[in-house]
Structures are given as C-alpha cells and as structure tokens.
Amino acid sequence: MSTKRRSLRFNLENDEERKAWEYLENFKGSKNSVVISAINSYFEPKDDLKETIRETIRECLKDVQVASVKSETLSEEENDLLDSVDMFLGN
C-alpha cells in the first residue's frame, strides 16, 4: 500500500481555522477520513442544489391533495406563487 503524508497547521486566532480544529478534535471517528471527505467535497461538484431541493419537495408532496382554486379569486402574487409551485413540481 502506498501512502502519502501531509501535515496541517491551524491558526487558533483565526475563527474559521479554530472552528475546524475544534471539529476535528471533538470528532470520535477517523480524523483522516473526515479530512479526505472534506477535501473531496470541496473539489468535486455535487448534485445541482436546485434539483435536489425540487426532488425533496416533490417527494414530500407526492401524496398531498391540493384543492382547486379559481384563479380569479386570487391576487396576482398568489397566482404567480401557484405557477411557481406547478413549475417546481413539473406540472
């Protein structure tokens, strides 16, 4: 097995670095795996956040029944909101 070694320095007077240090110090698992995961998450693009939110909302609302409302009884803002929800849910 080939391994590489890298050391890190934390400036505890810097809030971000101190917070990272505290997270690592208090973590009860493999600190090495946490650092590797953080580095990979930083450099690898993740799923599109908007699509993840859409899928989550779609899943949460899949069994929800919505009563039909006549658009003339709604304000323009309410109609825009309903249009946004329809677009969001793919209707």
> Given this model, what pLDDT does residue 32 score?
92
36-91 pLDDT per residue, tens: 988 888 888 776 777 778 888 888 877 777 666 555 677 888 888 888 877 777 66
Residue 26 to residue 17: CA distance in whole angstroms: 14
| Residue carrying structure tokens 């670095």 | 17
Whether 38 contacts 30, CB under 8 Å:
no
How large is the average pLDDT for residues 19-44?
90
> Given this model, what pLDDT does residue 71 score?
56
- Residue boundaries of the structural domains of the chain: 10-44, 49-89
Give the range among 18-22, 29-33, 57-61 with minimum mean pLDDT.
57-61
Residue 35 to residue 70: CA distance in whole angstroms: 54
pTM, full prediction:
0.47
**pLDDT above 90 for 14:** yes
Nearest-5° Cα angle at 56, 62 to 86: 55
Residue 70 to residue 21: CA distance in whole angstroms: 57
